[in-house]
Amino acid sequence: MADTTKMLDETMIDPVTGEIIDQKDLAERLLAQAKEQGVSLVGPGGLLNQLTKSVLETALNAELTEHLGHDHGGTPTAANMRNGTRVKTVLTEIGPVEIEVPRDRDGSFEPVIVPKRKRRLEGIDQIVLSLSSRGLTTGEIAAHFDEVYGAKVSKDTISRITEKVAGELAEWSARPLDALYPVIFVDAIVVKVRDGQVRNTPFYVVMGVTTAGEREILGIWAGDGGEGARFWLQVFTELKNRGVEDVLIAVCYAVVVVMPMMLGRSWSAAVAGLRLSA
């Protein structure tokens, strides 16, 4: 979405009135608005909801491709083919998510990741975070899908579904960002990751509030619990490389001693407006 303001050097100009906008005042107002609306990752309205929808729908379409033997828009190998979608609301650890489930003409498609007549799904938060974050290996990602699909489909099918969904999320995690985010939130969520053994892994999430007041996840990074200066410099440098030129207020829920220092190397104004929240 296009910004409602434009930048002129260090000054923000309202495109309608032509008046100069006080950046600090704008950031404070957007911070208050974001806190009022909620900036949670999970639960109803949580920011992971859209990612969960994308992962489930991509996996479902990949399953149907395997079932039919041809890609969407490809030449059917038999009489059966795609037949639109139906809306279904599933309950996950992230909260209720409305998805579009693809259908086939003869009704023989039995999806595994979202089974028919089942609305409560377990372990989806692990899949979403592992797919959308930086730092996990292909084996760790595939292990989550392997647990969901198990012996119901072949290893090759699991590999193809993993590759398809991971590709979609890779595009999302590398997308260009706005030049200015008046407010960013740095938070963490701990999820069990499987790759031979189960271990608790922190996922660090940077959420941004645009000049229009909209909230979005800028990126997700997997850690090991001992993140230092190099890790946070990498996170903030990646955001800069994707287009973020300035941040006015940073709210950090995941408090790490070196974070303010690394934050300052990227956006000095963000350190001046740094807020540490329990």
All structural domains of the chain with their residue ranges: 22-40+178-276, 49-173
Task: Provide the whole-model pTM.
Answer: 0.72
At a CB cut-off of 8 Å and minimum separation 6, what does 33 contact?
209, 213
Helix-strand-coil percent breakdown of the chain, rounded to 5? 35, 25, 35
What mean pLDDT is reported for the chain? 77
**Rounded to whole angstroms, how far apart are CA atoms 22 and 120?**
47
What is the per-residue pLDDT for 101? Answer: 96
Measured at the alpha carbon of residue 95, what is the angle toward residues 92 and 97, in degrees to the nearest 5? 80
Nearest partner of 144 among 94, 95, 193, 111, judged by Cα: 193
Q: Please report which confidence band the pLDDT of residue 43 belongs to, taking 50, 70 and 90 as the band edges.
A: low
Please compute the mean of the pLDDT values over residues 161-167 and round it to a whole number: 84
Please compute the mean of the pLDDT values over residues 173-191 and round it to a whole number: 87
| Residue 224: strand pairing partners | none
Determine how many CB atoms are found less than 10 A away from the CB of residue 208.
22
Instruction: Encode pLDDT of 204-238 as tens digits.
Output: 889 888 888 888 899 998 887 777 778 888 888 89
Length of the chain in terms of residues written: 278
Q: Which residue has the higher pLDDT, 247 or 264?
A: 247
Q: Please report which confidence band the pLDDT of residue 277 belongs to, taking 50, 70 and 90 as the band edges.
A: low
